[in-house]
Amino acid sequence: MHPLINYFLTLSPLSTSSAEALEAICQPTSIARNQPLQSIGQTCKTLYFLKKGMARIYYEKDGLDVTEGFYGEFNMIARAESLFAGKPSQKGIQVLEDSELWSIDTTQLASLYEGHRDIERLFSRLFEKAYVETIQRIENLQFHAAEERYHLLEKEQPEVLKRAPLKFIASYLGITQVSLSRIRAKKS
């Protein structure tokens, strides 16, 4: 069975016909390190799931590149504000490593919902999970000091600290690279 379908089955049950229908719209994609998967200003019409690699969602503010989130294997990557509003996003998606992904066209996905309620339930759960992660991210920035945010990242996504460039980790934490170096030095 398709590895992405196996992953979906860990989240929500799917009938055989639904699994086959979903597999039929999963398209393999490869993209080279540091390339944009979707550029700022594009309207999001595709969901991505990493088979191998790492990606980030970012935006630009006051001339700075700010990382909003990191995504590893089997994470759903989308710019929900653009997807649901049907408008161009102020955010982009960039892969940080040579990556292999599966892409799912959201128009094709939506056409499956009527005949496959289990697919609709699955993606409802995936979007709920993404929403909760976004709220947790906002609350981390609101309620935790930089060092606490670093330790949360270390606990929840340790692979990011090994695989992502320090400048992106620092921007994700809302600190400078110098501050990040100090936090990392304390740990040693």
- 46 neighbors 78 (Cβ within 8 angstroms): yes
The stretches of the chain forming alpha helices (DSSP H) are 3-11, 16-25, 80-85, 106-113, 117-143, 146-156, 158-163, 166-173, 177-187
Considering the entire predicted model, what is its pTM? 0.90
Share of the chain above pLDDT 90, in %: 93
Report the C-alpha gap between 46 and 92 in whole angstroms: 13
Spatial distance between the Cα atoms of 20 and 119, rounded to a whole number of angstroms: 11
Tens of pLDDT, residues 9-65: 999 999 999 999 999 999 999 999 999 999 999 999 999 999 999 999 999 999 999
Q: Provide mean pLDDT across the span 99-125.
A: 96
Q: How confident is the model at residue 110 (pLDDT cuts 50, 70, 90)?
A: very high
